[in-house]
Each structure stands twice: as structure tokens, then as C-alpha cells.
Amino acid sequence: MTVRSYSLAQPAAEQSVWTRIRARDSVVRRLDWWLLGAAGVLAVLGALLVYSATRGRTDLNNGDPQYFLLRHILNLAIGGGLAAVMVWLGHVRLRNAVPVLYVLSLLMSLAVLSPLGSSINGSRSWIQLPGGFAFQPSELVKVGVILAVATLLAASLESDQRPRPDTRAVLQALGLVALPAAIIMLMPDVGQTMVLAAITLGALLASGTGRGWILGLIGLGVGGALVVWQAGLLDAYQINRFAAFANPSLDPAGVGYNTNQARIAIGSGGLTGQGLFHGSQTTGQFVPEQHTDFIFTVVGEELGFVGAASVIVLIGVILWRGCRIAMGAPDMYGTIVAASVVAWIAFQAFQNMGMALGIMPVTGLPLPFLSYGGSSMFAIWIAVGLLLAIRARSRSRM
């Protein structure tokens, strides 16, 4: 009788397939569901708010009440797809492509200053695309800057085993930020330049850069702003915005109209609001740019203090999870990327809500996750994807 022996070992090809399946399953299970859930709730709420602010705007929606809603949902779907790609690639694999991504972001920004660029609301920040779509390259520049600065600072720390980056690395990082910032200022777009400054501070703090550098850069920023103001490098509409911020009663029917109407809308919401789709200021179309820059006024008027506070809490959850991801990142590169994203979202959200409340000057920055706009939606969901990718590959429990 012949006895046959059977091996319990799986063929190499089959083992490879199961290894990949288990790896993907592990990545999905290790996603930060608090972060993803908060971002998802804000995204759904944003779609409802955009619809409320635009369904009656026949001057903008070509007679189709769902015009902006459908486009917003399309932008959201593309943004979610980009976040999924970031998770699939992983932040480590992206690190190898950072030089190419950074250069591409610079070239796209320069294209805005060419005949391809177009001006909207006084800023030459857009490239018009077929089908009535517009693309704002400065939104994706923020992603390129985050990855480039994180790569440089992390490489300095890893190569020399230093507790903080040396002077050369800090200066090189500042150079990586200064170039796109100068291009964006030529548009001019003060708001996006301020976001780049916040991102830079976040990256330097996460890398352990000395306090002297941080204080020096803050002082340099304040001094630079004064020089820009005194030298007359700002356009008239930008000066008017700052003047209206400094003096809210200045020309309430002119330069101060937006902020005054925004405060009226938010104040009329009371505790629980007038009800979704029932805001008198929103229905009456009194607040300009209400589906983009001033979408927080729809929150305040229709959902009241409770709704506005809920939005702030949800953004706070995203920032909390981002900080946790930065602290538990598997490498210094991931820590700096996560911290930079947190600084970006925190500053931009505060700036947008602050200008609606009248405590910050109007700068034209959208509210992350809620405002209408494809470029901003794509960029913010790429940022979420980076956070999720870092968390999925972290060994620590958070």
C-alpha cells in the first residue's frame, strides 16, 4: 500500500493573496472612525446647507434649484475617492513622490498668473474649466507644501538623530513655503497665504523647532503684514475688507455690508434656529456668497446656537483625532504631516467662522467640509485621507 503525504502549507501564490487580503482588512479596521464619522456628518450637513442657500438663487442656478446641490455631491464623491486613494497609497509611499507633487503644485499656481487664469471676487486665483467648473490651484498647494516641508524636516531629524531640526533644515523648509506663498500673494490671495503660515507653524512645532524660531517667525509675519499695508501692495477691495473689520459701522451699505448681514443672519437664529430651509435672511438672499465663504451664517440662522455649537464640536472632534494621530504616528514624517493638517483645518475653520461673526477680517476662505467648492473639497478630503493613512499604519492604540 502506498501512503501519500499531503502538505498543509498553502502554495506561495495563495499565501500572497491571503496576505494582501489580511493587510487590507487590517488597514480598514485601523481607520479612525471618530474622525471619519465627524467629517462625514459635516459633509452631509454641508450639502443641506448649500441647497438651502442656493435653491432660490435663480441668478446663479440657471433656474435649477438642485444645480449646486448635485455639483456639491459630485465634489464630495470625488473628494471621498481621493481620501480613499491616500489611504490605499499610505503616507510612506507618498513620500517618494513628494518632489514631483510639490513642483506640480507650483506649476499649477503659476498657470493662474498666465492667460489661463481668471479673476473671481477680485482675486486672480482660478482656472476656468469646461462645463462651468473652476479650479483653484492654491488649495492643492497646501497639500504639496505640507508633504514637502514634512519630508525635509523629517529627513533632517532622521539622518542626524537630532531632537530638533538644525538651522539649515528650518531655512530650507521656510524656502519651500516662501516660493508658493509669493506666487499666491501675486494673485493676490491673502487668506491662502495666512493658511500657509499656519501650516508652517504647525510643522515647525511638531518637528521640535526651537521657541526662538517660532517667536521670530510670528514677529516677522506681523512686521511683513505692516510693510505690505504701508507699501500699498494690497488691492483696494482687500484694504476695504480690513477697514470694515476694524470699524464695523463703516459704510454698512457698502464695504461693511457682508459682515453686517452675516451678523444679522446669525443673530436671528436664536437658540434653535428658524428651521432648515426656513431662514428669512437666507431665503431673502441678503447675505452674499452664502453657499461658499459665509455658509456659517446659514448654520446660525436656520439651526441656531445649538446647530452652530454642534458644527464647532464636530470640527473639534476632527482636530482632537488629528492631534492623537500626530502623537501616535509611526514616524516623524507622519507626525509632521498630521500636525500640519490639524493646523490647517483649525486656522481655516476659525478664520471662516470668525469673519461670519465679525471677529476676523473677511478673507474669502471656505469653511472646511461645509462650503461649496470643488477645489477646497478635494484638498480637505485629501488631508483627511492623509490622517487616516497615518492612523491605519500606526502600531499604537488611540
* pLDDT, tens digit, 9 for 90 and up, residues 381-391: 999 999 999 99
Q: Check: CB of residue 259 under 8 Å from CB of residue 250.
A: no
Pick the range with the lowest mean pLDDT from 157-171, 222-236, 364-378: 222-236
Statement: residue 158 has pLDDT above 70 = yes
Q: How confident is the model at residue 251 (pLDDT cuts 50, 70, 90)?
A: low
Residue range 140-147: mean pLDDT, rounded: 94
Statement: residue 1 has pLDDT above 60 = no
Statement: residue 262 has pLDDT above 90 = no
Q: What is the Cα–Cα distance from 322 to 324, expressed in whole angstroms?
A: 5
105-110: long-range contacts at Cβ-Cβ below 8 A with a sequence spacing of 24 or more? 105/137, 105/140, 105/141, 105/143, 105/144, 105/145, 105/180, 106/141, 106/144, 106/179, 106/180, 106/183, 108/137, 108/140, 108/141, 109/137, 109/138, 109/141, 109/180, 109/183, 109/184, 110/183
Retrieve residue 11's grid coordinates: 502554495
* pLDDT, tens digit, 9 for 90 and up, residues 70-91: 999 999 999 999 999 999 998 8
Statement: residue 40 has pLDDT above 80 = yes
pLDDT at residue number 249: 61
Pick the range with the lowest mean pLDDT from 19-23, 124-128, 372-376: 19-23
b/e per residue, 54-92, with b = 16+ CB within 10 A? bbeeeeebeeeeebbbebbbebbeebbebbeebbeebbe
Statement: residue 131 has pLDDT above 80 = no
49 against 58, higher pLDDT: 49
Pick the range with the lowest mean pLDDT from 30-34, 47-51, 359-363: 359-363
pLDDT at residue number 242: 62
